[in-house]
Amino acid sequence: MTAATHGTGTHGPGTHHPGTTRTSTRRLPGIVALGVSRTRLELVSFFRERDAVVFIFAYPILMLAIFASVFGQDGATAGGSGEDAVSFAQYFLPGMIATGMMLTSFQALATSLAVERDDGSLKRLRTTPLPPVAFFLGKIGQVLVVSLAQTILLVAAGAVLFGIEVPGSLDAWVTFAWVFVLGTAVGTVCGIAFSSVPRSGRSVTAVVLPVVLVLQFTSGVFFVFSDLPTWMQRFAEVFPLKWMAQGMRSVFLPDSAQAAEVSGSWQHGPTAVILVAWLILGLVVCVRTFRWRRRDDG
C-alpha cells in the first residue's frame, strides 16, 4: 500500500517539478552573465596588447587619409556633379568602416584563436567549468564593442579631417545598424571557423593576411567598385566584404550615388540575403571544424 502510494504520488511520471523549472529558467541568464563577464575579460586582454590596439584603431583612419588624399587631388570626385558630387573621402569611408569590421572580427579572431589553440590556452580552458557558449559570447561581445568604438572613431576622424557628412535620417541609421550587426556577426563566425585552417600559431599571419588583402582590394574598399574589372567584381560578389561596403555606402552616400553602382541600386535585399547566407554557412563550419586542441594533440 505504501509502495503504491509512493509510486503514484506528486513526484511520479508526468508531474510538474518546480525545482527543475527554476533551474532551467536560471540557466540562460547564468550563461548570459558568464558571457558578459567573459566579454570584460576579453576586452581587458585586448587593450593590454597595445600594438594590436593601435593597428586596429589607426589602420582604417590611415588608409582613409592616404586614399582620399591620393585620389582626391585637385578637387577630383568619385562621382556626381554639383551638389551631388561625392568626394573620395566620402566614398572611401564606408569601405573603411567595412574593412575595420572585418579586421576586428574575422582577422582578429582567426589570429587570436589559432594562437590560443597553439599555446594550449583553449585546451586548458576546455577543462574548466566555463560553458563553451559563454566563451564564444565573450568573443562576440568583445568584437561588437571594439568594432563599434572603431567605427565611431573613424566616422569622427572623417568628419573632422575631411568634412565628411554624417547621415541625419533615421532610415540611414537603421540601415547602418542591420548592416553593422550582420557584417560583424558574419566576420565573427567566419573568423572562428577560419582559425582552424592555420597549422600553427606561427603560420597564422601568413594564412590570414593574404585573404584579408585580396578581399580589400577587390571589394570596393581601396578603389571605386564600378571601376574594377568585371571578373574582379564577380569574384568580390561571392564574399561578404563587398556587400558590407556597399551597404555602408548606402548609409553615407547620397541616394543619387546608387546610380554609379554596378547594379544601379543599393541592393539592400541581396545584401541581407548574402550576409545571412554567410552567417549560416559560417555557423555550420564552426560547429563541424572548431577544435580546442592542436592537430598533433589528439
Q: What is the pLDDT of residue 24?
A: 42
Percent of the chain at pLDDT exceeding 70: 87
Count the domains in the chain.
1
**pLDDT, tens digit, 9 for 90 and up, residues 238-249:** 999 999 999 999
Q: Is residue 25 included in any domain, yes or no? A: no
Residues in the chain: 298
How far apart are alpha carbons 62 and 70 in whole angstroms?
A: 12
Q: Is residue 1 included in any domain, yes or no? A: no
Q: Is residue 12 included in any domain, yes or no? A: no
**pLDDT, tens digit, 9 for 90 and up, residues 173-203:** 999 999 999 999 999 999 999 999 998 888 8
Q: Which three cell numbers stand for residue 175?
A: 540601415
Cβ count within 10 A of residue 16: 8
Q: Which three cell numbers stand for residue 200?
A: 600553427
Asked if 180 contacts 145 with a C-beta cutoff of 8 angstroms, the reply is no
* Residue 86 pLDDT class (50, 70, 90 cuts): confident
Q: Which three cell numbers stand for residue 68?
A: 582620399
DSSP assignment of the chain, as one string?
A: -HHHHHHTSTTSTT---HHHHHHHHHHHHHHHHHHHHHHHHHHHHHHH-HHHHHHHHHHHHHHHHHHHHHHTGGG-EEE--GGG-EEHHHHHHHHHHHHHHHIIIIIHHHHHHHHHHHTTHHHHHHTSS--HHHHHHHHHHHHHHHHHHHHHHHHHHHHHHH-PPPP-SHHHHHHHHHHHHHHHHHHHHHHHHHTTSSSSGGGHHHHHHHHHHHHHHHTTSSS-GGGS-HHHHHHHTTSHHHHHHHHHHHHHS-GGGGGGSTTSS--HHHHHHHHHHHHHHHHHHHHHH--SS-GGG-
The one-letter amino acid code at 177 reads A
Q: Which three cell numbers stand for residue 259?
A: 546610380
* Residue 79 pLDDT class (50, 70, 90 cuts): low
Q: Is residue 60 included in any domain, yes or no? A: yes
How far apart are alpha carbons 177 and 101 in whole angstroms?
A: 13
Rg of the chain taking only CA atoms, in angstroms: 23
Q: What is the pLDDT of residue 240?
A: 97
Q: What is the pLDDT of residue 208?
A: 95
How far apart are alpha carbons 182 and 178 in whole angstroms?
A: 6
Angle at 43 (CA atoms; ends 38, 45), nearest 5 degrees: 95
Q: What is the pLDDT of residue 174?
A: 97
**pLDDT, tens digit, 9 for 90 and up, residues 198-235:** 988 888 999 999 999 999 999 999 988 999 999 999 99
Q: Is residue 213 included in any domain, yes or no? A: yes
Q: Is residue 109 included in any domain, yes or no? A: yes
pTM of the model: 0.85
Q: Is residue 62 included in any domain, yes or no? A: yes
Residue 68 has pLDDT above 70, yes or no: yes
Q: What is the pLDDT of residue 69?
A: 87
How far apart are alpha carbons 117 and 101 in whole angstroms?
A: 23
Domain, as residue range, for 215: 30-297
Q: What is the pLDDT of residue 87?
A: 87
Q: Is residue 2 included in any domain, yes or no? A: no
Residue 3 has pLDDT above 70, yes or no: no
Residue 19 has pLDDT above 50, yes or no: no
Which residue in 297, 281, 282 sits closest to 136, CA to CA?
A: 282
Q: Which three cell numbers stand for residue 231?
A: 571578373
